Amino acid sequence: MWVHPQFNPVALQLGPLAIHWYGITYLAAFGMFLWLANLRVAQPAPAARGWVKRDVDDLLFFGVLGVVLGGRLGYVLFYKPAYYLANLGEVFAVWKGGMAFHGGLLGVILAMALFARLRGRSFFEVTDLIAPCVPTGLAAGRVGNFINGELWGRAADPSLPWAMVFPQSGSTLPRHPSQIYQFLGEGLLLFVLLWLYARKPRLTGQVSGMFLIGYGMLRFAAEFFREPDDFLGLRALNLSQGQWLSLPMIAAGLLIWWWASRRRPA
């Protein structure tokens, strides 16, 4: 049986400056987005819409603000509002961990809406461009979760070859390494599917809708193996809060894809 190695969350200490693994994974996520987005604007469909490489730098700036602010505030509001209300000084202590994908998604939506307005583009034209570049960032975030030994999985059959003990959980139960499942599903698998889907010309909004559908379904499935946080009370019908938050995402993706499919191409 595997045992989580309990990595030091600090990757490098330079005097009083501590560089955390979690921060490095975010830096890697933004770097991969920059690389993939530059490849994306060179594809025939985005290039035909007038996208150029200099747009990518501005998109990254808006995206970073949306991800960091939205992800952190989403975690604060969705998961531990009472704790952070009593500890306001820790609200923006992102180096201690605690980012919510659904909050980050809302933050990116607002940031991209602002970018679209400033550039005179439609909102879905912007999100269709960036959607295939997002899953690798999600994969990097799950690597950070694994290094930190957080968001461990539910108890697993001891005979499962990759079952792992997470001492951080306070028990010696073998568990599913759910961070790895999410890395492979919401990260790599979703990236491959979306990248291949977006390579062909699509109607405005279809790529964005497919992203919401794909992520929502893969996250919903992963939650069956991920241990729900003890401080969350929303578990109606034996579904976790992550699953309840994924359902409207899937519904919105289906609605957007259907709406986009019925529109005439510009």
Residue ranges at the known binding site: 142
Q: Which two tokens stand for residue 245?
A: 């938050």
Strand-pair partners of 105: none
Amino acid type, 177: P
Are the beta carbons of 31 and 60 closer than 8 angstroms? no
Helix (H, G, I), strand (E, B) or coil at 149: coil
Cα separation, 190 vs 186, whole angstroms = 5
Report how far Cα 259 is from the mean position of its chain's Cα atoms.
25
262, containing H or E segment: helix 241-262
Residue whose pair of structure tokens reads 């919105």 in the numeric block: 252
Give the C-alpha separation, 98 to 103, whole Å.
Answer: 11
Placement of tokens 């998604």 in the chain:
105
Cβ(142)–Cβ(180) under 8 Å? yes
